[in-house]
């Protein structure tokens, strides 16, 4: 660690917190006090100017009416000191204004509010600016991402937000560009390609700004990408440093001493396929340690038998890596899942906090990753303080606090001859959905999901890595897996349940759970008035009591909610902002748009507001809800081959079993099923490439497109029979 730099940052931070503790306390009392506090501290910032700099970010708590960065402050606790909305009046929260979003794909960003303007991103990496009070659109920016990138985005063409810095907004676009946008005009200032276009990289995360550097990673581990995190000069777009997360071929000049050492824990020619370890979501800067932390994902392939046949830890897969902010040089790492083979990414949100542990003040880093173990580390050294279960899991019995390694359940490892049932499934006990920490309650609020899945490896002798497809080298359906699920005491298969959980990071124990009616995780925010805000997949936005989990307020959003809210003050009134829409519609929700099966919107709430959402369903918009497939003409063999090929090449976007789980067409309803020629025009000839459905000619073997067609026709006829039986 650079001690000199760290001391300088610390003293600035300490000075600011001393100076600002007075006015901050006043602001925290009533929303009406906010303008007075603003007057006491004169600012010369223009409306919509996004004049954010390091000092302002360090002092974010002195202006709780702004939401300056995705996680609000550098600590990314998503805790707001605002007190205008409280338990006493939250019941009067109503819709102030809303804005429709012009894309029907998933929405995952947290609105940033600075100098009176509200900025958010949508699917396809579009950026929008609104007047945060009136709801007037200021500008819209479309980077015009080539839709063919949709085919290499594992989990929808989403984006998780912008970073604001000195008059500009920074966007990581799906196609790997980092783009600086003038915050006043919405015009592009500069752009740089952060990836090699020969490789199928994508970006969905929000960039972070640290000391004039824009920090950005990428995704694409299963698609033959090698993970790395880069820093670009915020003013010019010049590359300042890059940290690779997995080694390249031995002897490659990008192999730093740490990566040369990491090579000892790898086997085989993994580097031919990139290796993975992509840092696709969390990036956290801590001014106290002057370190940047990021989490890395799985390797390629998931199956370790294929990836690294003799095993090994496979560093830095599934690891937290800390680097020095100015240089990107390695500081420390902590591998949560050595030799991962369950897609246990640890890219899940990280946050720093000051906790009292065993009577001692500790400055910690915390995470609730996919694995189900909650970690607390010393932020400076990465030394493990504690780790325990925040959700049910079966892949390990505990974390050895001495070595930091999981004590694995031997039954959880699989091969091409041995099946395993693993809990949680690859979506994890907690995925990218933002969690929140309240220094007032001392609790972390985590959107938890419970799930399990079966694993077997593909045959390592015959498995071939293919370009631009999802190369997990795993099988999730087999007789051996079915047999395991049939045994007494086996976990329930698939998505089991979800809930909002309050977790005590000091005692490492669950405090309360607020169950979801319908399965699905959703981002979280908490406030100084002991409220926790979060949406759900039943189509509601809710406020809970932070101490008990009691639901205090709920309002219909007409959409599935996965993104996290933010909150701000304009003219003395507190607002809550939430982007909604993802993976189709909540149960029973009628579409309000003729062109979309996903009511994606920005929703803005304040006390006593009475705006309403459109209520009437659009006539004819539900056409296609009645199944009308052709009769099955394929053979049993074709249907079985089609099931396997669909699982590998199509299900990532179109959903398991042909049942759409997102806002991407449900193929069972597709008019293209009417004849095979139309089907092949799309699948082989790429007729819909401009909509993101690229040609799969180069990856499908002879007859596979037709086999997939017959499989979908078969699935559609099964569903039609079920529909008929219900009538």
- Could you list the residues that contact Ca ion (CB under 5 A)? 297-298, 343, 345
Quick one: tokens of 69?
Answer: 């960065």
> What's the distance, CA 111 to chain centroid?
15
Quick one: tokens of 72?
Answer: 């609000």
Please state the closest distance from residue 342 (CB atom) to Ca ion, in A: 10
| Active site (annotated) includes residue 343 | yes
Please state the closest distance from residue 425 (CB atom) to Ca ion, in A: 12
Query: Cβ(420)–Cβ(414) under 8 Å?
Result: yes
Q: Which is nearer to Ca ion, 143 or 277 (CB)?
A: 277
Instruction: Give, for 13, the enclosing helix (H) or strand (E).
Output: helix 3-29
Please state the closest distance from residue 221 (CB atom) to Ca ion, in A: 6
Please state the closest distance from residue 203 (CB atom) to Ca ion, in A: 15
Q: Which is nearer to Ca ion, 97 or 470 (CB)?
A: 470
Please state the closest distance from residue 421 (CB atom) to Ca ion, in A: 19
Quick one: tokens of 648?
Answer: 């590998």
Angle between helical axes of 33-40 and 3-29 (0-180°, round to 10): 140
Q: Which is nearer to Ca ion, 423 or 704 (CB)?
A: 423
- Over its C-alpha atoms, the chain yields an Rg (Å, rounded) of 25
Strands 79-80 vs 524-527: parallel, antiparallel or unpaired: parallel
Calculate the CA dihedral of residues 348, 350, 356, 357 and round it to 10 degrees. Answer: 50
User: d(Cα 566, Cα 220) in Å, to the nearest integer?
Assistant: 29
Q: Which is nearer to Ca ion, 82 or 229 (CB)?
A: 229
Q: Is the peptide bond before 424 cis (omega within 30 degrees of 0)?
A: yes
Please state the closest distance from residue 424 (CB atom) to Ca ion, in A: 13
Quick one: tokens of 503?
Answer: 């977790």
Query: Cβ(220)–Cβ(278) under 8 Å?
Result: yes
Strands 566-570 vs 551-556: parallel, antiparallel or unpaired: unpaired
Q: Which is nearer to Ca ion, 343 or 416 (CB)?
A: 343
Provide the β-strand partners of residue 100.
601
Query: Cβ(481)–Cβ(419) under 8 Å?
Result: yes
Q: Assign 467 to helix, strand or coil.
A: coil
Strands 93-100 vs 601-607: parallel, antiparallel or unpaired: antiparallel
Query: Cβ(300)–Cβ(274) under 8 Å?
Result: yes
User: d(Cα 307, Cα 414) in Å, to the nearest integer?
Assistant: 13
How many CA atoms lie within 13 Å of 262's alpha carbon, on the beta-carbon side? 28
Q: Which is nearer to Ca ion, 349 or 565 (CB)?
A: 349
User: d(Cα 597, Cα 591) in Å, to the nearest integer?
Assistant: 6
Please state the closest distance from residue 21 (CB atom) to Ca ion, in A: 42
Closest CA to 270 of 325, 322, 311: 311
User: d(Cα 211, Cα 460) in Å, to the nearest integer?
Assistant: 46
User: d(Cα 601, Cα 594) in Å, to the nearest integer?
Assistant: 15
Query: Cβ(554)–Cβ(563) under 8 Å?
Result: no
Per-residue HEC secondary structure of 179-199 comes to: EEEECCCCCEEEEEECCCCCC
User: d(Cα 534, Cα 525) in Å, to the nearest integer?
Assistant: 7
Task: Kindly report the backbone phi and psi dihedral angles of residue 532, in degrees, each rounded to the nearest multiple of 5, phi listed first.
Answer: -120, 125
Q: Which is nearer to Ca ion, 369 or 634 (CB)?
A: 369
Please state the closest distance from residue 344 (CB atom) to Ca ion, in A: 8
If you search the block for the tokens 């699935």, which residue do you land on? 715
* Neighbour-count burial of 7, counting CB atoms closer than 10 A to its CB (0-12 exposed, 13-18 middle, 19+ buried): exposed
Strands 524-527 vs 494-504: parallel, antiparallel or unpaired: unpaired
Please state the closest distance from residue 395 (CB atom) to Ca ion, in A: 15
Q: Which is nearer to Ca ion, 150 or 297 (CB)?
A: 297
User: d(Cα 315, Cα 324) in Å, to the nearest integer?
Assistant: 19
**Annotated catalytic residue within 156, 281, 343, 560:** 343
Q: Assign 653 to helix, strand or coil.
A: helix
Quick one: tokens of 369?
Answer: 């990753």
Query: Cβ(539)–Cβ(525) under 8 Å?
Result: no
Q: Which is nearer to Ca ion, 298 or 566 (CB)?
A: 298
Please state the closest distance from residue 58 (CB atom) to Ca ion, in A: 33
Please state the closest distance from residue 655 (CB atom) to Ca ion, in A: 18
How many CA atoms lie within 13 Å of 14's alpha carbon, on the beta-carbon side? 7
Please state the closest distance from residue 312 (CB atom) to Ca ion, in A: 19
Q: Which is nearer to Ca ion, 423 or 542 (CB)?
A: 423
Q: Which is nearer to Ca ion, 345 or 706 (CB)?
A: 345
Q: Which is nearer to Ca ion, 77 or 296 (CB)?
A: 296
Strands 566-570 vs 573-580: parallel, antiparallel or unpaired: antiparallel
Please list the active-site residues. Answer: 343
């Amino acid at each position: 660690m650079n001690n000199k730099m760290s001391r300088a940052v610390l003293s600035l931070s300490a000075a600011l917190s001393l100076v600002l503790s007075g006015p901050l306390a006043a602001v925290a009392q009533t929303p009406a006090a906010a303008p007075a506090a603003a007057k006491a501290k004169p600012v010369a910032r223009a409306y919509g100017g996004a004049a954010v700099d390091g000092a302002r970010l360090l002092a974010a708590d002195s202006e709780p009416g702004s939401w300056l960065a995705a996680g609000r402050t550098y600590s990314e606790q998503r805790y707001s000191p605002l007190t205008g909305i409280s338990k006493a009046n939250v019941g009067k929260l109503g819709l102030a204004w809303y804005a429709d979003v012009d894309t029907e794909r998933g929405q995952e960003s947290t609105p940033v509010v600075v100098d009176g303007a509200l900025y958010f991103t949508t699917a396809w990496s579009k950026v929008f600016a609104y007047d945060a009070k009136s709801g007037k659109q200021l500008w819209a920016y479309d980077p015009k991402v080539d839709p063919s990138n949709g085919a290499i985005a594992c989990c929808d063409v989403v984006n998780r937000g912008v970073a604001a810095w000195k008059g500009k907004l920074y966007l990581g676009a799906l196609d790997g560009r980092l783009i600086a946008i003038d915050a006043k005009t919405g015009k592009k200032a500069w752009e740089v390609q952060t990836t090699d276009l020969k490789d199928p990289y994508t970006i969905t995360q929000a960039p972070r700004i640290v000391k004039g550097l824009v920090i950005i990673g990428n995704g694409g581990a299963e698609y033959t990408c090698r993970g790395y995190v880069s820093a670009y000069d915020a003013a010019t777009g010049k590359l300042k440093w890059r940290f690779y997360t997995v080694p390249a071929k031995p002897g490659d000049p990008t192999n730093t001493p740490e990566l040369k050492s990491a090579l000892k824990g790898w086997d085989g020619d993994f580097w031919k396929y990139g290796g993975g370890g992509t840092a696709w979501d969390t990036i956290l800067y801590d001014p106290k340690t002057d370190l940047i932390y990021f989490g890395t994902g799985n390797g390629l392939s998931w199956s370790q038998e294929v990836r690294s046949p003799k095993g090994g830890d496979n560093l830095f897969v599934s690891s937290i890596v800390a680097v020095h902010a100015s240089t990107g040089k390695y500081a420390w790492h902590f591998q949560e899942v050595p030799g991962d083979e369950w897609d246990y990414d640890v890219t899940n949100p990280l946050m720093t906090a000051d906790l009292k542990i065993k009577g001692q003040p500790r400055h910690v880093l915390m995470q609730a990753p996919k694995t189900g173990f909650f970690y607390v580390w010393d932020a400076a050294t990465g030394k493990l303080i504690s780790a325990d279960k925040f959700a049910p899991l079966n892949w390990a019995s505990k974390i050895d606090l001495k070595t930091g390694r999981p004590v694995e359940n031997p039954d959880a490892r699989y091969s091409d001859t041995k099946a395993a049932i693993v809990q949680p499934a690859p979506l994890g006990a907690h995925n990218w959905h933002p969690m929140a920490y309240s220094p007032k309650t001392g609790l972390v609020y985590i959107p938890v999901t419970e799930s399990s899945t079966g694993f077997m490896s593909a045959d390592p002798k015959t498995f071939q890595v293919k370009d631009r497809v999802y190369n997990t080298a795993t099988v999730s359906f087999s007789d051996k897996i079915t047999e395991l699920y049939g045994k007494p005491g086996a976990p329930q298969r698939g998505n089991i349940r979800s809930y909002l959980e309050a977790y005590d990071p000091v005692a490492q124990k669950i405090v309360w759970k607020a169950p979801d009616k319908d399965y699905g995780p959703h981002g979280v925010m908490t406030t100084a008035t002991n409220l926790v805000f979060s949406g759900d997949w039943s189509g509601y936005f809710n406020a809970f009591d932070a101490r008990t989990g009691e639901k205090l307020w709920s309002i219909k959003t007409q959409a599935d909610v996965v993104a996290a809210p933010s909150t701000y003050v304009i003219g003395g009134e507190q607002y809550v902002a939430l982007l909604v829409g993802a993976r189709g519609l909540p149960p029973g929700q009628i579409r309000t748009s003729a062109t979309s099966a996903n009511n994606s919107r920005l929703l803005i709430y304040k006390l006593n507001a009475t705006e309403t959402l459109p209520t009437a369903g659009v006539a004819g918009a539900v056409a296609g809800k009645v199944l009308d497939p052709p009769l099955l003409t394929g053979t049993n063999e074709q249907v079985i081959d089609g099931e396997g090929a669909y699982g590998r090449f199509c299900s990532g976007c179109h959903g398991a079993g042909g049942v759409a789980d997102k806002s991407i067409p449900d193929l069972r309803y597709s008019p293209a099923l009417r004849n095979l020629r139309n089907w092949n025009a799309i699948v082989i000839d790429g007729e819909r490439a401009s909509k993101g459905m690229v040609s799969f000619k180069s990856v499908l073997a002879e007859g596979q497109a037709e086999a997939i067609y017959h499989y979908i026709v078969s699935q559609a006829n099964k569903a039609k029979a079920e529909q008929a039986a219900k009538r």
